[in-house]
Amino acid sequence: MVKKPNCDSAGDGVLRSLLGFVLPGRPLGRLYFLFAIMAFEYAFCFVGRGYIPGHLKILGITPDTYGQIPIFAYAVFLGFGHFRLKALREEIPFGRILFAGHLLCIAAVLSFTVAAREGLSWPRFDTFGYAKSALYLLGTVLLVPACVPLRSWMDAKRATGWLWLFASLIGVAGWLFGTPVRLLWAATSTVQSGMMQKATLDAVSAVLRPLLPDLVVDPATFTLGTPRYMITIAPGCSGVEGLGLVLIFTSLWLWFYRKETRFPQALLLIPCALGCSWLLNIFRLCALVLIASAGGSDALTTGFHAEFGWIAFIVIALVFSLATQKISWMRKLPSSVPNTAGELPRVGMETLTDASVELDKDRGESPAIRAYLVPFLAILAAAAVSKLTTGSFDWLYPLRFVAAAIALCFFWPELKKLNWRFGLLGPVTGAAVFLMWIAPSWWAHEHAASSLGAELAALSPSARWAWIAFRVAAAVVTVPIAEELAFRGYLARRFISREFDSVSFSSLTVLSICLSSVVFGLEHMKNLMDWQHLMLGTVAGLAFAAALRWRGRMGDAVVAHAVSNLLLAAWVLGLGDWAQW
pLDDT score, position 114? 67
Using one digit for the tens of pLDDT, what is the confidence trace for 527-564?
666 777 888 899 999 999 999 999 999 999 999 999 99
Nearest to 224 by CA among 281, 288, 315, 166: 288
Q: What is the pTM of this model?
A: 0.63
pLDDT score, position 44? 66
Nearest to 46 by CA among 69, 28, 64: 64
More confident residue, 155 or 391: 155
**18: pLDDT strictly greater than 80:** no
Q: Mean pLDDT across the stretch 397-423?
A: 93
407 pLDDT tier (thresholds 50, 70, 90): very high
More confident residue, 137 or 157: 157
76 pLDDT tier (thresholds 50, 70, 90): confident
**218: pLDDT strictly greater than 50:** yes
Alpha-carbon span 191 to 194, nearest angstrom:
6
| Cβ atoms 282, 207 nearer than 8 A | yes
| Cβ atoms 23, 33 nearer than 8 A | yes
More confident residue, 262 or 573: 573
Mean per-residue pLDDT over the chain, rounded: 78
191 pLDDT tier (thresholds 50, 70, 90): very low
Alpha-carbon span 291 to 296, nearest angstrom:
5
| Cβ atoms 517, 536 nearer than 8 A | no
Alpha-carbon span 126 to 132, nearest angstrom:
10
pLDDT score, position 244? 79
More confident residue, 406 or 313: 406
Using one digit for the tens of pLDDT, what is the confidence trace for 97-148?
999 999 998 888 877 766 666 555 554 445 556 777 778 888 889 999 999 9
Alpha-carbon span 545 to 557, nearest angstrom:
7
Which residue type sits at 225? Answer: G
pLDDT score, position 181? 55
Percent of the chain predicted with pLDDT > 90: 26
With vertex at residue 336, the alpha carbon angle to CA 330 and CA 341, rounded to the nearest 5 degrees, is: 60
Name residue 232's beta-bridge partners: 223
Using one digit for the tens of pLDDT, what is the confidence trace for 238-272?
677 788 788 888 888 888 777 778 877 888 888 99
